[in-house]
Structure 1
């Protein structure tokens, strides 16, 4: 009963959309949607250009940082509300470490 068991090594990988991480692809997809809903080709091109610029900026910003850098940045910079509040971690205004 010697069966080879597969042990996954990458349980905590970032979600992917094709070759891109979801947090890098989200600005392009959002701006693509906004440009499509605007109804003109010029505004579609402008929105798509803004989306590409934002995703390039985000990918360069998080290049040498933790893989969940975008989520950490959102937690510390955006105001807490039911969508961004995490129950396990303390509120972002409590910045003194205990211990």
Structure 2
């Protein structure tokens, strides 16, 4: 993290948080809710309490991050995993959502 998180938020026990790497949907299937359905189906089988992911806020002029926000994620801060990588938004949400 470029700015450290509070200990209560960053503390891990190996079972608290799952990390999502990518969901890729073929172009012909985009805009139909397929990625969201895959995402929610995957989370249904998770035992962790929360899920985290990295989003490049420049992708799609911010549209990719906005999609994740619509899915219930909130931005925690920024991370640059490598010196030559983009700065990513670190996003987090609960695995189970009341409105899901």
Query: What TM-score range do you get, normalising by the shorter chain?
Result: under 0.3
Question: Which one has a bigger Cα radius of gyration?
Answer: 1
The structure with more strand, counted as a fraction of residues: 2
What TM-score, normalized to structure 1?
A: 0.23
Indicate the structure whose relative CO is greater, using CA pairs within 8 Å and at least 6 residues apart. 2
